[in-house]
Each structure stands twice: as C-alpha cells, then as structure tokens.
Amino acid sequence: MKKSIGMKSSYVLTEESVDYEITKISAGNFALGYETKSGLFVVENFGRSDTDINEEIKKSIHRYERFKFFYASSPKSAFLKECKNYHAFDKKKVDNKTHPVKPENSEDKCPYCK
C-alpha cells in the first residue's frame, strides 16, 4: 500500500518558494523529498514546527529538492501528525530514525506507541 503524507502539491525547496508558499507564522507539518519523472512525490524526510513552519523548512534547503506542507492548528496537532508519519513510514526509506519529541512544556504522548 502506498503511504500518503496527506499533503497536496510539492514545491521546489528554495528560500524564495518557501516564503511564497508559507505566508503565515504557524505550527505545521512538512515532508521533504523529490519528484519522480512521472510526478510522484517521494518522501525522504518529514517533520514539524511547533511555532514557525517556514523557518523550520528553510533549515533543509540544499539537502532536499522539494517540500510539501500544511499548517497545524496547534503544536499538539503537529506532534500527533508527525507521530503518525513516523509510525507509518519504513525507517529504511526515510531519514527519520528517532521518534518525534513532544512539544515543549507538554505532557502529550504518542498515541501510536505501544
């Protein structure tokens, strides 16, 4: 079964495109990777920001080719989505090797850990 990160279009990962696409300061989730010749977005890394998704994605410029994102309603929401992605993706196929860390000053726990 093909994994879906639940995000729409992908964009070229440059400072200009990040600023153009991500226009508000917000918590959010993102996926980083590349697009195949057939247009399939291949996830190589995913993550979140609890405060400013624009700033967080820019840390990966020059390491990945494209990005996808969506705004989250809260740091907790972004954390839960990142946990879901962490448990859904094959660790051999993405760069994420460690479990997401809960938001600062939060008691939230991963609902997917047993």
- Whether 61 is covered by a domain: the verdict is yes
pTM here is 0.90
Average pLDDT value for the chain: 92
- Whether 104 is covered by a domain: the verdict is no
- Whether 109 is covered by a domain: the verdict is no
Among candidate residues 70, 4, 91, the one with its CA nearest the CA of residue 40: 4
- The answer to whether residue 8 scores a pLDDT higher than 80 is no
- Whether 98 is covered by a domain: the verdict is no
Could you report the per-residue pLDDT of 47-66, keeping only the tens digit for each?
999 999 999 999 999 999 99
**Residue 98, CB half-sphere, CA atoms under 13 Å: how many?**
3
Q: What is the mean pLDDT of residues 67-80?
A: 96
Give the chain's domain count: 1
Alpha-helical (H) ranges within 22-99 are 53-58, 75-88
- Whether 42 is covered by a domain: the verdict is yes
Instruction: List, in order, residues 6 or more apart from 7 with CB less than 8 Å away.
Output: 29, 30, 31, 68, 69, 70
- The answer to whether residue 1 scores a pLDDT higher than 60 is no
- Whether 47 is covered by a domain: the verdict is yes
- The answer to whether residue 114 scores a pLDDT higher than 90 is no
